[in-house]
């Protein structure tokens, strides 16, 4: 399928079902999948005590990694998955519970009461509800906000053998259970060169500070003697415009119109974007805005704090990781990951 079609015409749950089952769901299958995830979104009460034990300034990714690993102590029947049916139950349980754990990390960090899932709300809206609501509040969330975040989840669902996915597979190749494998993937994603890239984009825009300073920083980015690099441009895989970035660019424009988003960060980003798309320096080097450039701006428009950006990545990527785990677990010819190491040190040294 074309990623643009999936992102604009289907939901994240459709894409999750596609990865898990191998086909897009029909209306009945989608409704059943949706209801199943809603019912599985609640977590064991013991996990609240785990979150309470974390310092209030703990990083969300540290809490998330620990919580996903701790799922294995509450749902230990999935420590040894042997059948396709068991794999599906395990996968759906993980996908359903990760947004709840993610919202708990946010609320623990800010010292506000945990909010349980609302079974009347669909997947993405439910996450925003658990992030934003006060106890007892019947919070309304706008459709454009749900669509924006749902699209970000879809665009992050799976993406080749990146560092975190390869980590999940490497750990899985040892025979490790899915919770351990996904926890390892979360830790790999934590790195600023991987999942933290969109957080770095926003931090850099804040550092630039004003539209009036953009030209200076563009000049620095083009100066080979200056170590400054523009964040959110270029991609190791895409040598032309990242197709995912185009989708998010359109969504960002829609958010601006419907939510009235027009802050200083957005103005700085728009000027950088305009220069980069017209300047021969960037065009010749194929340095186009990537998914991180726009996703950070969209998450900021949704009032999601920077510290939660990589957690959002975890939610979207969870289905990709778990299906990669299932694929490897089903391949009985797959051996343990064991990269070779080439020695380049001194040789023939005597004692």
Catalytic option among 106, 156, 177, 235:
235
Beta bridge partners of 289: 233
Question: Does residue 194 have an active-site annotation?
Answer: no
Rounded distance, CA 87 to CA 205, Å? 43
Catalytic option among 159, 292, 331, 332:
292
Contact criterion met (CB below 8 Å) for 39 and 160: no
Number of Cβ within a 10 Å radius of residue 345: 5
Question: Does residue 14 have an active-site annotation?
Answer: no
Rounded distance, CA 235 to CA 274, Å? 18
Active site residues: 235, 292
């Amino acid at each position: 399928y074309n990623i643009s079609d999936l992102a604009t015409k289907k939901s994240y749950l459709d894409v999750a079902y596609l990865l898990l089952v191998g086909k897009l769901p029909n209306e009945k299958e989608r409704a059943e999948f949706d209801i199943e995830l809603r019912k599985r979104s609640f977590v064991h009460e013991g996990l609240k005590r785990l979150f309470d034990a974390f310092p209030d300034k703990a990083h969300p990714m540290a809490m998330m990694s620990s919580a996903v690993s701790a799922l294995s102590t509450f749902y230990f029947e999935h420590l040894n998955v042997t059948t396709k049916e068991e794999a599906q139950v395990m996968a759906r349980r993980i996908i359903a519970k990760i947004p709840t754990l993610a919202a708990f990390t946010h609320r623990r960090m800010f010292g506000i009461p945990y909010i349980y899932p609302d079974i009347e709300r669909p997947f993405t809206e439910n996450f925003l509800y658990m992030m934003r609501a006060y106890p007892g509040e019947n919070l309304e969330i706008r459709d454009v906000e749900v669509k924006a975040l749902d699209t970000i989840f879809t665009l992050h669902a799976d993406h080749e053998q990146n560092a975190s996915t390869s980590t999940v597979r490497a750990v899985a190749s040892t025979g490790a259970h899915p919770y351990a494998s996904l926890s390892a993937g979360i830790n790999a994603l934590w790195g600023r060169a991987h999942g933290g890239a969109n957080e770095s984009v926003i931090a850099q825009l804040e550092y630039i500070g004003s539209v009036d300073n953009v030209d200076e920083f563009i000049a620095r980015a083009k100066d080979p003697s200056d170590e400054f690099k523009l964040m959110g441009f270029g991609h190791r895989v895409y040598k032309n415009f990242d197709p995912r970035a185009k989708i998010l660019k359109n969504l960002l424009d829609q958010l601006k119109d419907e939510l009235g988003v027009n802050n200083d960060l957005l103005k700085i980003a728009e000027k950088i974007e305009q220069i980069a798309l017209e300047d021969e320096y960037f065009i010749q080097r194929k340095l186009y805005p990537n998914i991180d450039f726009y996703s950070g701006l969209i998450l900021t428009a949704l009032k999601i704090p920077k510290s939660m950006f990589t957690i959002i990545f975890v939610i979207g990527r969870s289905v990709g990781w778990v299906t990669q785990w299932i694929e490897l677990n089903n391949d009985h010819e797959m051996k343990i990951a064991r990269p070779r190491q080439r020695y380049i040190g001194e040789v023939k040294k005597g004692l």
